[in-house]
Structure 1
Amino acid sequence: MSHRSNVLLGLVIDQYLTTASPVSSNSIFQSKTLSVSSATIRGELARLEDGGFITHKHTSSGRIPCDLGYRHYVKDIMREEPPNFKERFTIEHQMHQVQGNIDRRIAITASVLAGLIKNAVVITKKYQPSALDDIKLFDILPGRILILVVFVDGVVKKQLVDKRTSFIIRMTPSIESLNKLIKNYFFNREANKKMEFVNDSLIMTIQSVISGEEEGIINEEIIIEGATHLMAQPEFETKESMLTTYDALASLKYEPFTIQKTHKKQRVSVSIGEEIPKNQFKNLSVVSTDYKIRDAASGKIMVIGPKRISYQKVIPLVRYVSNLLSN
């Protein structure tokens, strides 16, 4: 494609993204972006239409982008617009409010992102059994030891054990020595094999707390926010299109799909219309990326909107949110 065709296609799509109205050759000519005649613009638009990049609904109407045009725009024409200060502050402030709580952090991420981009946001959430991070013992209660078991996802579990029931507690001279002994047992495999008293009540209590977390069932959840934002887009103003789009979102709860990676350099995938492996999504686009919160949870962040979605803003915003959520 020639440089002029690239510029012209970019102008058509940029204008259509903003107005949701077919773009006429006269409006491009009046913008004075291209120093060519209106006849030249009409000729270039005809060539772009012949190439399958744009189309028009009626003979006298302006042009609208086709899937191929959007794909070329995303790959070769658009320039990303990184999140501005206000957007970054909003996201980071909201995430900070729920720091340490994975469920609320993911939920607030979906809500804030949907509010910023005015489209639907879907976040899949897959929990992994959490691994052990630390064990701490405290001698702060008469006759009992407080056990704190810390997992890598930030979960802390507490348990009390009676000093009289544990031979290890009775035989260890100080709480410092007891902490050292217990950490050595649970974090040093060789020591674990050699150490006696594995049936001691202290060891068994800690093992019970650990196994209760580590043997948890892997489960998945799907969070959907911003459906009303998506329905408010002009593409879905008819009752039929609104219901089709609503059903498409609802179907994700029981029939998720895999997005093919098409924006590999930036770690973000963009799937447009027919590229999405679900017929209900043929009038939509999906911008998605992966996230992973330590060893606790992982999944996908997906922005779902009309093909007219603001790719130049959404792609870097999704990447930014993924990095924040993962870190």
Structure 2
Amino acid sequence: MTLISIVTSCLNEADNVVELHQRIKAQFDAGGPAADFEFEHIYVDNGSTDATVAQVKALAAADPRVKLIVNARNFGHVRSPLHGMYQASGQAVICMASDLQDPPELIAQFVARWRAGELIVLGVKPHSRETWAMAALRRAYYRALRRMADVPVIANFTGFGLYDRSVVTMIRELGDPYPYFRGLIAELGIRYATIEFEQPARVRGITKNNFYTLYDLAMLGLTSHSKLPLRLATLAGFTLSAASLLVSLGYLVAKLLFWQYFTVGTAPIIIGLFFFGAVQLFFIGIVGEYVGAIHTQVSRRPLVIEKERVNLPPGPALPRHSGGAEP
């Protein structure tokens, strides 16, 4: 039977991992909509401090189709799922979150579209049960990114979807250690299908997305698929330099013509100083984001360091003490 890999990254999701597996299992067991496919369910634990690992190990002991990778620490919300995707052995890989906000019941539709010939099937969430402020901010970000990006970025897509083995191989060969999937899929140029769903509210546990992770994803999308901010920085530099020169010439002429009673004062100087300082710091920050993205690309560090594997072939792990005497 054709094997399909389900990859879920988890961080302190002890309240959700058991129900998640039960709902995924129901899709493939006898009578399920995907019963004519075999599956493996790979959990990638990203440094949980609760009972998540123990819960998954209990599942793996009862069902060999459940597999576990325990990371040595939290390697982030991008690298950990990507590593899990690379460890999957199925002819298709379905990536989803472990907080039950990516409905496992969509697996049947993903598989049906894949069987019909689609290499990529994405779950997009035009509607989500979140606060109106977060929804408005998300819409504004995607609208701005679509206008600035070099490729048509996929809005309301978080990585939840099915990827054919050939697509996984292509992504791996690109060698991007920190990809922005919303733009990467469009960058590949492969036709993809989308399935819309309403993202349910989290029932148990707390979200692991905070201001930093959301900001990180926003900047990742900007620096990965657009050079417009750098061009704006250059253009603003030329414009402000020209404006400064004109203002300086104007003050010089005014002082020469009306030197007896024309006083510049300190207010314009202070205002100009702070204004130009703020503009410089802003664009230095933009340049810094691009430099940071380049640093991530050239560092060539492993996606994750594994601490433990369950029901999987041996893989890279933490170095262990050889037992020899110290020199």
Specify the TM-score bucket, using the shorter chain as the normaliser.
under 0.3
Of the two, which has the highest radius of gyration? 1
TM-score scaled by length of structure 2: 0.28
